[in-house]
Amino acid sequence: MTDVVLDVRNYSVQLHTATSSLTVVDDVSWSVGRGETLAIVGESGSGKTVSLMALLGLIPEYVVTDTAGSAHLGARDLLSLPESELRKVRGAEVGVIFQDPLAAFNPARRVGPQIAESARRHLHLSADQAKRRTLEVMADVSLPNPRHHYVAYPHELSGGMRQRALIAMAIVSGPSLVIADEPTSALDVTTQAQLLELLKRLGRDLNMGLVLVSHDMGVVAALADQVAVMYAGRIAEYGSATSVLKCPDHPYTRGLLDSIPDPRLPHGTAFRALSGAPPDLASAGVGCRFADRCELAVERCVGQRPALEPVPLAGGQSGERQLSACWRHPRVTTPVSSAVAR
């Protein structure tokens, strides 16, 4: 990859309570470049969101957190920056699109001035300049009638328009990286498709990196260039979206893909859901954390942690990259059954 925006290496996150400590992100590594989208995907509780929020110092103040490893944004390691420096990074160099846009805006203030505030702070613009910049960006994200919505309150916008306004806030200062946490999960299918196309266009036109957090493999297939599949705080599989979605090696990845309903299957076909539930991290063993849900598991899977290592690519693909943390390495050479891979 050329022109890497963010390079995360051997990154771990521990959360502490009065009685115990919990490693919720366990030695993960990934990177994202300009104009590229990395999707971090997995079930709820897999560590997707907390891994990114901890990078930016956005874990709630009452939660005691320790991090290890490195996360280089250019020449600076985010994990070693004090809070005063992280405040300068957030918004200016890294934009964030939160899952709930209504909660992200102050309900007592108009939408436009909240976006303009970020432009004033990070771009050092006057009030008039910040307003002009905000109106330009509101138009860029296809928010209709920007001048009208500039003076609207958050509750006066529809869910889709609020999400567009939040995207405008994330990019108004021209960041090199945007983190999107389940940005379309609360929207209807039509609006979701429009926003996915918008995010894809913005990433390309603004030449910025995009890290997408999602549990929706359809969203991932539509947007991602690279995919990191997380399970119980670890990366199970990582590589190009083409190779991971069409030819998964890790049984967990295949399980996620096979659980997606395929409209082409005959009526009455049984739904293929992943059996079991993610482990309790407080009592997780040393081996593969998917072992107790995996049909291929053997004794080694329980007793030893598999390394994330390269796997052969299906069909002799070149220029692709695929890593998998599995002792068995099924080396699937036929496409998955789910329509998402198509």
Residue 41 is predicted with a pLDDT of 95
On whether both 43 and 180 belong to a single domain, the answer is: yes
Q: How confident is the model at residue 319 (pLDDT cuts 50, 70, 90)?
A: low
Q: Are residues 59 and 28 in the same domain?
A: yes
Q: Looking at the structure, tell me whether residues 187 and 326 fall in a common domain.
A: no
Q: Is residue 69 located within the same domain as residue 135?
A: yes
**Residue after which a domain boundary falls, among 194, 224, 254:** 224
How large is the average pLDDT for residues 51-63?
91
Condensed to tens digits (0 to 9), the pLDDT of residues 132-169 reads: 999 999 999 999 999 999 999 999 999 899 999 999 99
The fraction of the chain above a pLDDT of 70, given in percent, is: 94
Q: What residues have CB less than 8 Å from 58, skipping those under 6 apart?
A: 90, 96
Count of the separate structural domains present in the chain: 2
CATH of the domain at 8: 3.40.50.300
Residues 168 and 235 in one domain: no
Which of 224, 245, 280 finishes a domain? Answer: 224
What pLDDT shows up at residue 219?
Answer: 85
Together in a domain, 103 and 190: yes
Structure confidence at residue 299 (pLDDT): 93
* Domain of 313, in residue numbers: 231-264+271-341
Q: Is the pLDDT of residue 272 over 50?
A: yes
Residue 127 binned pLDDT confidence (cut-offs 50, 70, 90): very high
Do residue 38 and residue 186 come from a single domain? yes
Verify that 163 and 252 share a domain, yes or no. Answer: no
- Let me know whether 129 and 253 are in one domain: no
One domain for residues 201 and 260: no
What is the per-residue pLDDT for 333? 47
pTM across the whole model: 0.91
What's the pLDDT score for residue 337?
61
Domain boundary among 224, 253, 284: 224
Do 41 and 82 sit in the same domain of this protein?
Answer: yes
217 & 235 share domain:
no
**Whole-number mean pLDDT of the chain?**
89
